[in-house]
Amino acid sequence: FKGIYHGKQCHSADLPSVLARAWAAGVDRIIVTGGSLKESREALEIAETDGRLFCTVGVHPTRCGEFEESGDPEGHFQALLALAKEGIEKGKVVAVGECGLDYDRLQFCPSDIQKKYFEKQFELAEAVKLPMFLHMRAAGEDFSEIVSQNLYRFPGGVTHSFTGTAEERDKLLSIENMFIGINGCSLKTKENLEIVGGIPAERMMIETDSPYCDIKNTHAGIQFVKSIWPSKKKEKYEPGLTVKGRNEPCLVRQVLEVVAGCKGIADIEGLSKTLYHNTCR
């Protein structure tokens, strides 16, 4: 939301107007995701600008190399812990994450390093007694095993941006206090929609994962989308309009509409209350 795309400045930073659109669309609160120590610091800074913004502290699986690249893995962990404690005191940090396993992108971080520092972040959750914001991509078996071994260390969490199989869904649902997070990436194919349809609303959360994971016209879920925001390409940016291909928080409404559609739920406001309550809890 700084107007930079693949290193190229296309328009000025526009976070204030993105947030204004979100609040106008009925978004009540937003969790800003941290994916590295540096990013978690930035997420906390952003969260401090508005009472409706909160954040996470943690290291994404593809960035777990930063622990050892720092030259002092334990020092790096202690810095995360200190940041989490600072953010909790400020009433801003609400989860440990985004952490987990991503075997689709091993070019960024090998699986052994991912597993080592995924385990380590349960120590962080245990120390600060926060739920976990989790990432699982093409790593269902190892992910479930590590989570199951560490259940006693954290009070619950959400496996976000879920794109797994029906079997992986059921395995997650068998873990007490585990929720499944749904966004545009979860709603691409007919099979995705069937799998999401089988997640009880009481165990689900929705998100945008913006600026990624928007619902595209080629996705199966698009048939259920009712709310549309006018957009322009980034090169023809106009304040007040969304940017084509860049996801943003107001569009969580579309995720809600697709989830309601694939579950055959007519009471969309009732569903939204359930999902919101799950997230706040």
| Residues 6+ away with beta carbon under 8 Å from 130 | 84, 88, 93, 94, 95, 96, 154, 155
Q: Any binding-site annotation on 6?
A: no
Q: Using alpha carbons only, what angle is made at residue 149 by residues 148 and 151, rounded to the nearest 5 degrees?
A: 60
Please check whether residue 173 is in contact with residue 162, taking contact to mean a CB–CB distance below 8 angstroms.
no
Q: Any binding-site annotation on 160?
A: yes
Distance CA(180)–CA(215), nearest Å, equals: 18
Q: Any binding-site annotation on 123?
A: no
Distance CA(252)–CA(85), nearest Å, equals: 29
3 state DSSP class of 99? strand
- Token readout for 105 is 């992108």
Nearest to 219 by CA among 252, 243, 254, 246: 254
In the chain, alpha helices (H): 15-24, 37-47, 65-69, 73-89, 111-128, 140-149, 166-173, 190-197, 252-263, 268-280
Please check whether residue 3 is in contact with residue 11, taking contact to mean a CB–CB distance below 8 angstroms.
yes
In the annotated binding site for a divalent metal cation, the residues are 98, 135, 160, 209
Task: Give binding residues as ranges.
Answer: 98, 135, 160, 209
